[in-house]
């Protein structure tokens, strides 16, 4: 049998539940939970002498919460409750996805940022204490509170009109534009446009091998000047006998003889390490319409200059015609690239893997130098060559000795005949 105190406590709890249900029924819009509910809840909590954060309102709203009890680190703008109209089943309402709730807070922030800055007003006097009211008076306060009346939805701020972009004025003649023009394919002749050129198979192979060479081979470079006076004189004498050879033929022979004298340079790099080669096969770079290719003069150290010249001409013509066989451009041990006929004084070439070295040859030039007796001057025909070597196989000392022998072979052509 219930006592009088238990009956009063039960009546008091019934009034609290009635207050919570009334708040839910009178709060129609989703913004009411934050902007309209809190003032009313504070008034009710003052009447019932309970804490704002743990009153019966939370008990009445618990079926509508979308977050689990005890959740922490909930991001701002996350949907935590769903408000429906009277008589509507909340299970049939489409719940927006979590990502759609976050941007809803952005327009007020933008609107607030655009508002003019107003100086803070003078502090208002502290509110007077409210008189205590009974439970029924709290119900009347809830029904007549203007905070729970339907408020029209805030009109969405008008979309900002696009700012017209001014057309970039053309740069003055001779000046450089600050921003490069946008490249657009398919409009030939317009500034900043381009045309896509399909790459041939040869170009793709060249690009792949050059990238492999520069990224996996430690290149080292060494240059030397060679006096070509003796070669020029010998070439002139052979021309009188109707023997036509080029300066490049003497360079091929000089490199082949130097490799024969220094077999430690005539090596290639394999996956397991250095690999010494038995024969000297010189690869010569030939420019074609499809790209650079390197046909091979095999066993060049045992051939004469005239035979080397004939082989080089035949291979160069086959390369330009695209008729080289795979064995005619694969398997060389040393490469030579000559740009002297284009007036290039000197350059550095990229190693052709798995070879260890490539020799870059420039043009010959006349220079006035002091003679050995330091009493007179003489003109020399100097040619600069640069050796690109694989640092894993040919160190700087070995590269220097190779260049010294190569220079000696050119400055004293008779050495090549005796090799």
Asked if pLDDT for residue 409 goes beyond 90, the answer is: yes
Count, in order, helices (H) and strands (E) of the chain.
13, 10
Per-residue pLDDT of 235-281, as tens digits, reads 999 999 999 999 999 999 999 999 999 999 999 988 888 999 999 99
Place of tokens 């819009």: 29
Half-sphere CA count of 323, side-chain side, radius 13 A: 6
The pair phi, psi for residue 299, each rounded to 5°, is 50, 50
Strand, coil or helix: 365: strand
Task: Identify the band that residue 93 occupies on the pLDDT scale cut at 50, 70 and 90.
Answer: confident
Task: List every span in the chain annotated with CATH 3.30.559.10.
Answer: 214-418
Mean pLDDT of 298-322: 94
Q: Residue 388 is inside which H or E element, if any?
A: strand 377-390
Per-residue pLDDT of 103-139, as tens digits, reads 444 444 444 344 444 455 555 555 544 444 444 454 5
Q: Do 268 and 275 touch, CB atoms closer than 8 A?
A: yes
Per-residue pLDDT of 145-160, as tens digits, reads 554 444 444 445 555 5
Residues ≥6 apart with Cβ < 8 Å to 392: 217, 218, 269, 274
Task: Identify the band that residue 92 occupies on the pLDDT scale cut at 50, 70 and 90.
Answer: confident
How far is the C-alpha of 285 from the C-alpha of 59, rounded, in Å? 88
Average pLDDT, the chain: 75
Beta strands in 210-298 (DSSP E): 219-227, 267-270, 273-276, 282-284, 286-288, 291-293, 296-297
Mean pLDDT of 337-354: 94
Per-residue pLDDT of 178-230, as tens digits, reads 555 555 565 666 666 778 888 888 889 889 999 999 999 999 999 999 999 99
Per-residue pLDDT at 162 = 56
Per-residue pLDDT at 197 = 85
Per-residue pLDDT at 179 = 55
Residues ≥6 apart with Cβ < 8 Å to 168: 179
Per-residue pLDDT at 183 = 56
Asked if pLDDT for residue 408 goes beyond 60, the answer is: yes
Report which of 412, 363, 406 is spatially closest to residue 383, judged by C-alpha positions: 363
Mean pLDDT of 301-308: 94
Domain 214-418 fold: Chloramphenicol Acetyltransferase (3.30.559)
Structure-model confidence comparison of residues 69 and 351, the more confident one: 351
| Percentage of the residues of the chain whose pLDDT score is greater than 90 | 44
**Widest CA span in the chain:** 141
Half-sphere CA count of 409, side-chain side, radius 13 A: 26
pTM metric for this prediction: 0.56
Encoding tokens for residue 286? Answer: 């030939």
């Amino acid at each position: 049998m219930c006592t009088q105190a238990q009956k009063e406590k039960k009546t008091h709890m019934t009034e609290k539940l009635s207050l919570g249900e009334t708040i839910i029924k009178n709060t129609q819009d989703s913004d009411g939970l934050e902007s309209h509910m809190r003032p009313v809840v504070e008034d009710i909590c003052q009447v019932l002498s309970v804490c704002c954060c743990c009153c019966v309102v939370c008990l009445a709203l618990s079926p509508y919460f979308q977050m689990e009890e005890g959740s922490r680190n909930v991001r701002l703008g996350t949907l935590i409750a769903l408000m429906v109209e009277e008589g509507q089943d909340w299970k049939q309402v489409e719940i927006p996805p979590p990502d759609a709730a976050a941007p809803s807070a952005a327009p007020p922030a933008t609107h607030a940022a655009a508002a003019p800055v107003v100086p803070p007003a003078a502090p208002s006097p502290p509110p007077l204490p409210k008189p205590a009211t009974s439970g029924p008076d709290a119900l009347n306060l809830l029904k007549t509170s203007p905070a729970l009346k339907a408020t029209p939805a805030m009109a969405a701020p008008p979309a900002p009109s696009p700012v017209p972009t001014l057309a970039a004025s053309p740069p003055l003649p001779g000046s450089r534009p600050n921003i490069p023009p946008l490249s657009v394919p398919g409009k030939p002749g317009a500034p900043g446009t381009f045309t896509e050129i399909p790459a041939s198979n040869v170009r793709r192979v060249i690009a792949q091998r050059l990238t492999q060479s520069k990224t996996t081979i430690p290149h080292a470079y060494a240059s030397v000047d060679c006096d070509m006076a003796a070669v020029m004189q010998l070439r002139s004498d052979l021309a009188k006998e109707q023997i036509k050879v080029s300066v490049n033929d003497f360079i091929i022979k000089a490199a082949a003889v130097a490799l024969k004298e220094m077999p430690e340079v005539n090596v290639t790099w394999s996956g397991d390490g250095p690999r010494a080669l038995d024969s000297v096969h010189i690869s010569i770079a030939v420019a074609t319409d499809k790209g650079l290719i390197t046909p091979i003069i095999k066993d060049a150290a045992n051939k004469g200059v005239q035979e080397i010249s004939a082989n080089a001409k035949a291979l160069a013509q086959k390369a330009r015609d695209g008729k080289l066989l795979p064995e005619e451009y694969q398997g060389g041990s040393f490469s030579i690239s000559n740009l002297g006929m284009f007036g290039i004084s000197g350059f550095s070439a990229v190693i052709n893997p798995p070879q260890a070295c490539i020799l870059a040859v420039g043009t010959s030039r006349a220079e006035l130098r002091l003679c050995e007796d330091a009493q007179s001057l003489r003109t020399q025909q100097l040619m600069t060559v640069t050796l690109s070597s694989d640092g894993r196989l040919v160190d700087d000392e070995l590269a220097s000795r190779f260049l010294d022998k190569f220079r000696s072979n050119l400055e004293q052509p008779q050495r090549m005949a005796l090799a």
